[in-house]
Amino acid sequence: MNPLAYLHQPIPLEWYLLLSATLFCLGICGFLLKRNLITVFMSIELMLNAVNLSFVTFAHQWGAVKGQIFVFFVMMVAAAEAAVGLAIIIAVFRARATLSVDRIDLMKL
Amino acid sequence: MNYHLWLIPLLPFAGFLLNGILGSRLPKWLVSTIALLAPLASLAVVTQAASSVLGGATASLPYVETCPLGWISAGSLHIGYSFALDQLSLVMLLVVTGVGFLIHIYSVGYMSHEEGYWRYFSYLNLFLFFMTVLVLAANALVMFIGWEGVGLASYLLIGFYYKKKSAADAGKKAFIVNRIGDFGFLIGMFLLLANFGTLTFSEIGAQLALNPAWQGGVLTVIALCLMLGAAGKSAQIPLYIWLPDAMEGPTPVSALIHAATMVTAGVYMVSRTHFLFDRSPTALLVVAIIGAATAIFAATIGLVQHDIKRVLAYSTISQLGYMFLACGVAAYSAAIFHLMTHAFFKALLFLAAGSVIHGMGGEQDLRKMGGLRKKMPITFWTMTMGVVAIAGIWPFAGFFSKDAILYAAFVEGGSGRVLWFVGLVTALLTSFYMFRLWYKTFMGESRSPEVHPHESPWWMLGPLVILAVLSVCGGWIGIERFSAFLAPSVGHRAAEAGSAQLEVILSIVAVATALLGWLVADRFYRQKVGQAAQLAEVNPKTYGLVLNKYYVDEIYAALIVKPLLAISRYVLGWVVDAGILGGAAWLLGGTALFGGAILQRWQSGNLRSYAAWLAAGAAAVLVYALAPWNAFWPITMEFLGKVAGH
């Protein structure tokens, strides 16, 4: 049997979902644990893309295009968010000369 | 015939409103005009009604006027603002508005230099409003309005010099002691409602007349409750203690409220509800005993007081005792007769005393007076009329009414003889202390030469002269005619005739007693000045006991006031209020504070902690959804199996 034969077999749905869940959890961990504001921001992007992966997976599975359209929406919003978010980050850095989330906690008691 | 009874109380009320609201901005003469016109107009309405009644329109009595707007209406119970005019309320109205008007005139002179002139007159008009409501009331509840209202006016006027602590305290004392009596009145009213279903006097009387078999029992209880109310208002044992202290008020107030009118409200109330008392020999006996005991008890205290107004105050208590004694032997018309003459001569005595105080520059101590006869001739002569009248010497007013009471007690027989004897001794004491006051004030030499007394203005002397005339002639109408006139209101019993011979003998005994009192006073205070002081030194204990009013105030303080204060402060104040109620409030507040302090930690303001909570929540939901006991469990297992299968 061709040792590369498995490449022609479709990858089962569960694997995609597991990968998506793993990426999402990594995103959460990054968001909760990282101090650097840019890293936190990237973690959010990671979570969004984890969700995108599951959207695409289901779209492919059911042969429906709705999931892919949703992905475009999410990517669009993420792009807008990236623009605004990075602008805010730059403004914060200018004002406080730091990007550590622990030091830009004006809401804290 | 329309009498417009509603005008009688409402005119003084209008005066009260005008002076009370605008008085501080009005000139003095206008305040006096308003204050005088109000009672004068009331007096005119009363006089018009009186002339019509005396002119023969008695058939229309009792004449009832009801406000078209109802008041309380519940089931079969209907209570309205009803006024009733009958012989009894007519006599009372004449006394209240007549003497009230004279005292208003007097006040213009007496209060002319006082601060708060307008306040004084608005209170005085307010008093007249409530007093006429009390007198005109056709049911017990309307009477209660007046009853409470005169208490309020009395409180306000006793504490008129509110910057003086003793005056403010005396006002509070009068009010609180009266509350005890009002409690009795209230319970009496509740019992009336429960047993008769109505508070209208005439309906209660009619129900009793239909059922001659109703005797004693609950009627005794009702009568005794009402008597408790009367004892509070009319300063009888055991609630008389407020009246002497009430002398802190301005003297015309003492004359009007605490001698002539308000304190007689109890006598009036007992006469008004006489049908209840008539059905209960026990209650009558209690009334008679309280009256007689108060009469002699207060008279003995009056013997040794040094304050001119306090002597008169104890004399008032003693004379009110006479009236209750008369009520107790069911001689209501004699009681009302004495009420009327007493209003004349006691108002006169107080006003004359006020004139003396005014002339002496505020001095009230008998020991510092003396020799005022020449300095204040008109005051002297008018007061003499009052003294002779209250002593009960023929042919002055006091003689006729006191004689009627003593006679009514005597013909009662049995216990009535004892009451008669007590009354006679009281008459002796009365005569003595009044002539003592008279000698000490007007006779001999002045004991404080540095004071230069002057006669009072005519605003004050005019009412004195009128009242002096009334004190002389007020009794000439005679008890027979008076009780015949009152009979439709209070029954015929007092009019029963004894033998004319007995009547004459009793009268002679009474006058002889009065003269004896005068002679003793004459000996002590004119012939052998100083003998009274010697007598006091020989019996220091007795003298001290009487001088200190038998320590009744102190006994009440120790037995009632102090325990009550202690219970209020420690049990109610500390345990109940601070401990239970305050503790509960603190507990609630403390729990909220404590919980808040803990929950506050969640609101750290740290964005990532919020995110962590969010993630933890999402994880919890996920775990719950995938748990073995959940419906999704087979799907979860299938998923895991597939993953494992590859």
pLDDT, one tens digit per residue, over B464-484 is: 999 999 999 988 888 888 888
pLDDT of residue B68: 82
Tell the residue number behind the tokens 């007549």, with chain if given. B98
Write out the two tokens for B347. Answer: 């108002």
Q: Does any CB of chain B come closer than 8 Å to the CB of residue A101? A: yes
SS3 content of chain A, % helix, strand, coil (to 5): 80, 0, 20
Q: What is the mean pLDDT of residues B102-114?
A: 91
pLDDT, one tens digit per residue, over B15-28 is: 999 999 998 898 99
Is the pLDDT higher at B593 or at B375?
B593
pLDDT, one tens digit per residue, over B450-461 is: 778 888 888 889
Are B28 and B459 contacting, i.e. CB atoms less than 8 angstroms apart?
Answer: no
Is the confidence at residue B441, as pLDDT, over 80?
yes
Which residue of chain B is at minimal alpha-carbon distance from A108? Answer: B605
pLDDT of residue B496: 54
Is the pLDDT higher at B88 or at B642?
B88
Is the confidence at residue B1, as pLDDT, over 70?
no
User: Residue A9: pLDDT band by 50, 70, 90 thresholds?
Assistant: confident
CA–CA dist A12, A15 (Å, integer): 6
CB contact under 8 A, B607 and A105: yes
Q: Compute the nearest-CA separation of B165 from chain A (Å).
A: 55
Which residue of chain B is at minimal alpha-carbon distance from A107? Answer: B605
The β-bridge partners of B83 are B65, B137
Is the confidence at residue B620, as pLDDT, over 60?
yes
CA–CA dist B487, B439 (Å, integer): 41
pLDDT of residue B443: 85
Mutate one of B600, B602, B606 to test the A interface: name it (highest A CB count within 10 A): B606
Residues of chain A contacting B615 with CB distance shorter than 8 Å = 28, 32
Is the confidence at residue B85, as pLDDT, over 50?
yes
Write out the two tokens for B362. Answer: 């505020």
CA–CA dist A61, A57 (Å, integer): 6
pLDDT of residue B495: 45
pLDDT of residue B494: 46
pLDDT of residue A89: 92
SS3 B75: coil
Torsion of CA B18, B19, B20, B21, to 10 degrees: 50
Residues whose CB is less than 8 angstroms from the CB of residue B188 and which lie 6 or more positions away in sequence, other chains included = B140, B222, B223, B225, B226, B228, B229
Q: What is the mean pLDDT of residues B541-566?
A: 88
Residues of chain B contacting A28 with CB distance shorter than 8 Å = 615
Model confidence, pTM: 0.79
The highest-confidence range among B220-224, B371-375, B390-394, B539-543, by mean pLDDT, is B220-224
Interface of B with A (CB under 8 A): 600, 603-608, 611-612, 615, 639, 642-643, 646
SS3 content of chain B, % helix, strand, coil (to 5): 80, 5, 20
Are B328 and B288 contacting, i.e. CB atoms less than 8 angstroms apart?
Answer: yes
Helices (H) and strands (E) in chain A, counts: 3, 0
- Cβ-in-10-Å burial (0-12, 13-18, 19+) of B452 comes to exposed
pLDDT of residue B468: 94
Residues whose CB is less than 8 angstroms from the CB of residue B14 and which lie 6 or more positions away in sequence, other chains included = B38
Domains of chain A, earliest start first: 12-96 (1.10.287.3510)
Q: Compute the nearest-CA separation of A21 from chain B (Å).
A: 12
Is the confidence at residue B353, as pLDDT, over 60?
yes
Q: How many CB atoms lie within 10 A of CB B355?
A: 29
pLDDT, one tens digit per residue, over B362-400 is: 888 888 888 888 888 999 999 999 999 999 988 899 999
CA–CA dist B277, B328 (Å, integer): 8
pLDDT cut 70: percent of chain B above it: 99
Is the pLDDT higher at B645 or at B106?
B106
pLDDT of residue B631: 81
pLDDT, one tens digit per residue, over B476-518 is: 888 888 888 888 888 766 445 567 788 889 899 999 999 999 9
CB contact under 8 A, A14 and B642: yes
pLDDT of residue A108: 59
Q: Which of B605, B608, B643 sits opposite A14 (nearest CB)?
A: B643
Write out the two tokens for B246. Answer: 């009430």
Q: What are phi and psi of B621, to 5 degrees?
A: -60, -40
DSSP letter assigned to residue A12: P
Are B486 and B91 contacting, i.e. CB atoms less than 8 angstroms apart?
Answer: yes
Q: Which of B606, B643, B646 sits opposite A108 (nearest CB)?
A: B606
One-character DSSP codes across B154-183? HHHHHTTSTTSHHHHHHHHHHHHHHHHHHH
Chains A & B: contacts with CB separation below 8 Å: 32
The β-bridge partners of B82 are B66
Residues whose CB is less than 8 angstroms from the CB of residue B81 and which lie 6 or more positions away in sequence, other chains included = B66, B67, B69, B71, B142
Predicted ipTM > 0.85: no
SS3 B122: helix
CA-closest candidate to residue B443, choices B377, B530, B532, B372 = B372
pLDDT cut 70: percent of chain A above it: 94
CB contact under 8 A, A109 and B603: yes
CA-closest candidate to residue A104, choices B615, B608, B341 = B608
**Maximal C-alpha separation, chain B:** 140
CA-closest candidate to residue B171, choices B261, B247, B266 = B247
pLDDT of residue B537: 82
Are A37 and A92 contacting, i.e. CB atoms less than 8 angstroms apart?
Answer: yes
pLDDT of residue B646: 63
pLDDT of residue B124: 94
Q: What is the mean pLDDT of residues A32-51?
A: 92
- Report the mean per-residue pLDDT for chain B: 90
CB contact under 8 A, A109 and B604: yes
Q: How many CB atoms lie within 10 A of CB A79?
A: 10
Write out the two tokens for B322. Answer: 């006479």
The alpha carbon of residue B325 and the mean position of all alpha carbons in its chain are separated, in whole angstroms, by: 18
CA-closest candidate to residue B271, choices B427, B422, B91 = B91
Q: Provide the residue count of chain A.
A: 109
Q: What are phi and psi of B408, to 5 degrees?
A: -60, -40
Q: Compute the nearest-CA separation of B629 from chain A (Å).
A: 23
Residues of chain A contacting B605 with CB distance shorter than 8 Å = 105-109
pLDDT of residue A1: 60
